[in-house]
Amino acid sequence: MIDPQLYTPMTGRILICAGSDSGGGAGIQADIKTVTALGGFASTALTALTAQNTTGVFSIQEVPVSFIAEQMRVVLSDLGADCIKTGMLHNVEVIEIVAEVIEREVLNTYLVVDPVMVAKGGHRLLDVSALDALKSLMVTKADLLTPNIPEAELLTGLNITDLDGMRRAAYKVLELGSKAVLLKGGHLDSEFLTDLLVTENSEQIYNGPRLNTKHTHGTGCTMASAIATCIAQDYPLGEAVQRARDFVFKAIQTAPGIGNGHGPLNHAHTVVIKNEQTMDNSFSG
């Protein structure tokens, strides 16, 4: 038998509303891997299917909005959620239905909104006409919004070239209604990686080394899901962000190096067999 004391109990229920990535590096696949690797339980509501790999997104298949709503409702009514994380909500109808279910079915559940707009290879994942709906229906409900610099520029209309620009944009996003904003600085031209977390009453800057690699597909999804998991496990927001940054850094550092484009991360770097002999014995009977 496997000794249960060798394993950390699973804690934190995260409902993820996002699109699928057939390449496994981003989207719902990266979300599930991240939540699981951090000891949480992931449930899902698929908002879209994509055919993509490390070189780009080739096509998108829509999911009927009634089915998106049904996925969310049946999960919430039975399994529940300690945190909800949204990713790719690609058009007005999808944004409206997800916002409606959250408003009607969810009480006092932390909401992490990752405003997915453009894939790593440049393919748009949000209809141009849906930006206003994203602002009015999702940003206003978010306990935490996690835009990268291009996304923050689209949300605010500002040009961001440095930390001061990040600060101006972050506070402008706060004015849209989100309770907290983590503006990720990965797109800045700098040898360091700087992220900025702001709330109405606080500001925290996170600095770290930048890894020189093209294997960064799915970093945004991974970061948001890691934060959501830590929040569901009762970590304070500032500590949740730091733990998520550490997780993503190691996942990039140990990336498998596969694919011809922007390769996936190693989400499984936290998975360690604490007692190999015990595992061997358990499988041998």
Catalytic residues: 184, 216, 218-221
Determine the Cα–Cα distance for residues 178 and 111; give it in Å rounded to an integer.
10
Nearest to 53 by CA among 88, 29, 33, 71: 29
Q: What Rg do the C-alpha atoms of the chain give, in angstroms? A: 19
Determine the Cα–Cα distance for residues 136 and 46; give it in Å rounded to an integer.
22
Angle in degrees, CA 168, 83, 267, rounded to 5:
85
Could you tell me which residues come within 8 angstroms of residue 196 by beta carbon, excluding any fewer than 6 positions away?
163, 166, 167, 170, 181, 182, 183, 185, 203, 204, 205, 206
Q: What is the dihedral of CA 157, 158, 160, 165, to 10 degrees?
A: -140
Determine the Cα–Cα distance for residues 68 and 109; give it in Å rounded to an integer.
19
| Contact status, residue 109 vs residue 231, Cβ threshold 8 Å | no
Helical H runs in 81-212? 92-105, 131-133, 149-156, 163-175
At 180, is the secondary structure helix, strand, or coil? Answer: strand
| Contact status, residue 145 vs residue 139, Cβ threshold 8 Å | yes
Write out the H or E segment, with its range, that includes residue 128: none
For residue 115, give the DSSP letter: -
List of long-range contacts for 60-65, beta carbons under 8 Å, 24+ apart: 60/19, 60/90, 60/125, 62/90, 62/91, 63/94, 65/93, 65/94, 65/96, 65/97
